[in-house]
Amino acid sequence: MSSFPEGLKYAATHEWVRVESDGSVTVGITDHAQELLGDIVFIELPKLGADVSAKQEISVVESVKAASDIYAPISGKIVAINDALLDSPEIVNSSPYGDGWFCRIVPSDKSELDELLDANGYAEICE
Amino acid sequence: MGHRTPLYQKHLDANARIVDFGGWDMPIQYQSLIEEHHAVRQHAGMFDVSHMTVVDVNGADAKAWLQYLLANDVDRLKETGKALYSAMLNADGGVVDDLIVYRRQEGYRLVVNCGTRDKDLAWMQQHAKGFQVSITYRPELAILAVHGPESIDKVCSLLAPDVAASVQALGNFKALESGTWFIARTGYTGERGLELIIPSEDAPALWDKLLTIGVRPIGLGARDTLRLEAGMNLYGHDMNESVSPIAANMIQTIAWEPASRQFIGRAAVEKHRAQQEAGELPCLTGLVMEERGVLREGLRVVCTVNGQEREGVITSGTFSPTLKHSIALARIPVGSTDCHVDIRGKLIPVRIVKPNFVRFGAKVFE
């Protein structure tokens, strides 16, 4: 079964968001998403320093089975990307909420966080 | 709920993810497709392919009928147990299905695809008029494919010593029968291995024994990456009823001699052969992309023929777990050079190679 940790926010497009103490947010894809994709073999990372809008494509994940777009769950500037995923994309399969994070965004409009789902709300749409 | 094989519960026990495959509930993968793939290339894996269709052909005209039905010639099966790969064509030279035919002590055994079962059986019946032949679908049989460098030794460790010795001595593309078991050195992975066609009631116990001696369950996902690395066609993707075998890298499977043998589709494929020689019919080739990314079925291929830009299409594509980059089969104009694939609007360079990428665990193209 997929896991849906409490304390994270979720987009219906299967990204998660964790609000950090400095006000930035960490973004990744959910356990449910990695399960659907299966073995991930390439990741096109978000562009460091880019200004992105919510729901904008920021990354592409390629598994053996399919290619899938990843969308920014929130508007803002990308201030960090997880380079480790370039050589070891399988980390997203083994640790979607930990070492498999994609990027950190400094939000331009924190109220957008309220539009995201909580763990229960996201689990419901995955059923 | 779809059709289920006698091993359905075994798949659930092994934590399979079940998907609908041509109306059957089949395991797409157990834990990791890539690990399953490597298990077959390096050790031994087992595939439940009981969804495929076994058809036995008997009667005084069995040989003559198959010589009419199939593009390859069963006269090439000089001894009992020998196997032959063939297309079954329609009158327009399109591929109704691809199949394996084995010669038995009496008659023949065909294994055809799952998704084509009903139309194949109807096609066979329809074209049997005037032949003294019986066509028997055998749904009570299960098929377990066991493949990988250790597969034959592992299966043989479970067989009676005399049967094991015969299986060890079995040549490639040959089969033997021991009681109700039909054991063939055929498969769809590019590795050594066996396909065991056995009564359904024997399948669960055989599965359990193989599991106990370290043979790993392999899903349909890895079956596809393995067959594509081996450059083998998949029906409905690399060819279908509107594609000539000549445009699907199957020309070697058509027996042109004797010229007097009138098989269904002969006139059409003779024309296709001439068209391909004139550059008017495309060919199926291999593509290799060493850049990051994955070639997928349906992607547009842009290439150059005699200075002119032409197009083709990918018919099967995947990430190759053995080679660690993407490979594909593509239908492109004959004589193409300077090939690119359109991936999300970007033209990415690819190399054209023979459609055979991995055999016995190792890369085979230059």
Domain end marker among B246, B281, B316: B281
* Per-residue pLDDT at A1 exceeds 90: no
SS3 (DSSP) at A5 = coil
Residue B45, amino acid: G
CA distance B124 to B101: 14
Rounded to 5°, angle at Cα B7 from B6 and B10: 145
Nearest to B256 by CA among B68, B73, B16: B73
Confidence of residue B32 (pLDDT cuts 50, 70, 90): very high
- Taking only the tens place, the pLDDT of each residue in B2-14 is 999 999 999 999 9
**Partner B, chain A 49-88, Cβ-Cβ below 8 Å:** 60, 62, 64-65, 67
How buried is B18 (Cβ within 10 angstroms: 0-12 exposed, 13-18 middle, 19+ buried)?
middle
CA distance B187 to B227: 9
User: DSSP E strands: which ranges in A1-127?
Assistant: 9-10, 15-19, 25-29, 40-44, 51-52, 57-63, 67-71, 76-81, 103-107
B319 and B206 share one domain: no
What stretch of H or E contains B86? strand B83-89
Q: Where are the alpha helices (DSSP H) in chain B?
A: 8-13, 33-42, 62-69, 117-126, 151-156, 161-168, 203-212, 220-229, 266-277
Contact B294 A38 (CB under 8 A): no
Confidence of residue B241 (pLDDT cuts 50, 70, 90): very high
Q: Which positions ≥6 away from A98 have C-beta within 8 Å?
A: none
Neighbour order of strands in the sheet with B216-217: B175-178, B181-184, B193-199, B141-147, B45-48, B216-217
B308 and B347 share one domain: yes
Range of the domain at B259: 1-281
Domain end marker among B261, B281, B301: B281
B360 and B262 share one domain: no
* Per-residue pLDDT at B103 exceeds 80: yes
> Can you give the pLDDT at residue B366?
81
* Per-residue pLDDT at A127 exceeds 90: no
B71 and B168 share one domain: yes
- Taking only the tens place, the pLDDT of each residue in A95-125 is 999 999 999 999 999 999 999 999 999 999 9
B194 and B312 share one domain: no
B59 and B152 share one domain: yes
Contact A42 B344 (CB under 8 A): no
Q: B34: nearest CA in chain A?
A: A39
> Can you give the pLDDT at residue A105?
98
How buried is B42 (Cβ within 10 angstroms: 0-12 exposed, 13-18 middle, 19+ buried)?
middle
Report all structural domains of chain A as residue ranges with CATH numbers, in order of start: 9-126 (2.40.50.100)
Residues of chain A contacting residue B225, judged by C-beta atoms under 8 Å apart: 64
State the average pLDDT over residues B84-105: 98
Q: B324: nearest CA in chain A?
A: A41
- Report the DSSP beta bridge partners of residue B199: B141
**Distance of residue A41 Cα from the nearest chain B Cα, in angstroms:** 8
> Can you give the pLDDT at residue B83?
98
Domain total in chain B = 2
Task: Identify whether B258 is preceded by a cis peptide bond (ω within 30 of 0).
Answer: yes
**Distance of residue A38 Cα from the nearest chain B Cα, in angstroms:** 7
CB-hemisphere CA count at 13 Å for B6?
20
Domain end marker among B281, B306, B321: B281
Domain with B111 in it: what CATH number?
A: 3.30.1360.120
What is residue A35's DSSP assignment? Answer: H
Residue B108, amino acid: Y
- Taking only the tens place, the pLDDT of each residue in B157-198 is 999 999 999 999 999 999 999 999 999 999 999 999 999 999
B259 and B292 share one domain: no
Q: B33: nearest CA in chain A?
A: A39
State the average pLDDT over residues A33-48: 95
**Pick among A41, A45, A58, A90 to test the B interface (most B CBs inside 10 A):** A41
Q: Tokens 């034959």 belong to which residue?
A: B152
Instruction: Read off φ and ψ for residue A72, nearest 5 degrees.
Output: -65, 125
Numbered residues of chain B with Cβ closer than 8 Å to any chain A Cβ: 29, 32-34, 221, 225, 292-294, 296, 318-319, 321, 344
Q: Name the residue with higher pLDDT: B366 or B130.
A: B130
Nearest to B15 by CA among A12, A1, A41, A22: A1
**Pick among A35, A39, A40 to test the B interface (most B CBs inside 10 A):** A39
B50 and B7 share one domain: yes
State the average pLDDT over residues B333-358: 96
- Report the DSSP beta bridge partners of residue A19: A25
Residues of chain B contacting residue A67, judged by C-beta atoms under 8 Å apart: 294, 296, 344
Torsion of CA B1, B4, B7, B8, to 10 degrees: -10
B190 and B317 share one domain: no
Contact B318 A64 (CB under 8 A): yes
B275 and B307 share one domain: no
CA distance B311 to B329: 14
Tell me the percentage of chain B whose pLDDT exceeds 70: 100
- Taking only the tens place, the pLDDT of each residue in B309-324 is 999 999 999 999 999 9
**Distance of residue B31 Cα from the nearest chain A Cα, in angstroms:** 9
- Taking only the tens place, the pLDDT of each residue in B34-55 is 999 999 999 999 999 999 999 9
Mean pLDDT, chain B, as a whole number? 97
Contact B344 A62 (CB under 8 A): no
CA distance B85 to B100: 5
B258 and B311 share one domain: no
Residues of chain A contacting residue B293, judged by C-beta atoms under 8 Å apart: 42, 62
> Can you give the pLDDT at residue B102?
98
CA distance A43 to A35: 16
What stretch of H or E contains A86? helix A84-87
Residues of chain A contacting residue B321, judged by C-beta atoms under 8 Å apart: 64
CA distance B77 to B290: 41
CA distance B38 to B42: 6
B88 and B228 share one domain: yes
Contact between residue B57 and residue B135 where contact means Cβ atoms under 8 Å apart: yes
Enter the tokens of residue A87: 């050589």
CA distance B201 to B97: 29
Instruction: Read off φ and ψ for residue B42, nearest 5 degrees.
Output: -110, -30
